[in-house]
Structure 1
Amino acid sequence: MIERKQLKDRTQVTFVLPAHDPEGAVSVVGDFNHWNPAAHPLQPQSDGTRAASVSLPAHTSHSFRYLAAGDYWFNDPTADHHDGTNSHIHT
């Protein structure tokens, strides 16, 4: 699930996944963090999910994917668009 919160000239985007699906560590990686898996690991939340937030410029588009343990890459089914390889979000 993707949550958005409009700020002045930015959008806070929060990427949310269930606590154990998939198992192990998961990071959100994309053009906004130079595809660096260490930049935005999803952290456990009090509601039983795990999440990572990123502040992005408003009115922009970004490519991203999730990277789970075992080099398992996957897309977000709730993304705004998919291009066959990546998920895309519009702020």
Structure 2
Amino acid sequence: MAITKQYLKSKPVCKVTFTVPAEEAKEVKVVGSFNGWSAKKTPLKKLKNGTFKGTLDLDKDQSYEFRYIVDGTYTNDEQADAYAWNDYAGAENSVLHV
């Protein structure tokens, strides 16, 4: 898994690209505080090499909690900037600082 950040000079926005290698998966989504934890809003696109990828514009100078849903199973990104405990889920969430 990988997270790429590209800061824009013209706007207070960071283009964040989420990349998840999951050749066997049928569906990968990214959910988090940036989209109200809605799986419908951010499906990642499967590429020919089996990697899922998607880019979001997120406000700079913010922190966001997120997780991936790979075929219905929640998972964290090992390259996250940090992790935060979530009592509701009873698990840690990945944290992204932009």
Q: 1:20 maps to which residue?
A: 23
Which ranges of 4 or more aligned residues in structure 1 deviate by more than 6 Å?
none
Contact 2:23 2:50 (C-alpha < 8 Å) held by counterparts = no
Q: 1:77 maps to which residue?
A: 78
Alignment of 1:50-61 (within 5 A): 50-61=52-63
How far the C-alpha of 1:48 sits from its partner, in A, is 4.7
Q: 2:4 maps to which residue?
A: 3
Q: 2:95 maps to which residue?
A: 88
How far the C-alpha of 1:49 sits from its partner, in A, is 2.2
How far the C-alpha of 1:40 sits from its partner, in A, is 0.8
User: Following the alignment from structure 1 to structure 2, what is the Cα–Cα distance between the partners of residues 19 and 73?
Assistant: 13
How far the C-alpha of 1:83 sits from its partner, in A, is 1.9
Over aligned residues, Cα RMSD in angstroms?
Answer: 1.5
Any stretches of 5+ residues in structure 2 without a counterpart? 86-91
Q: TM-score, normalised by structure 2?
A: 0.82
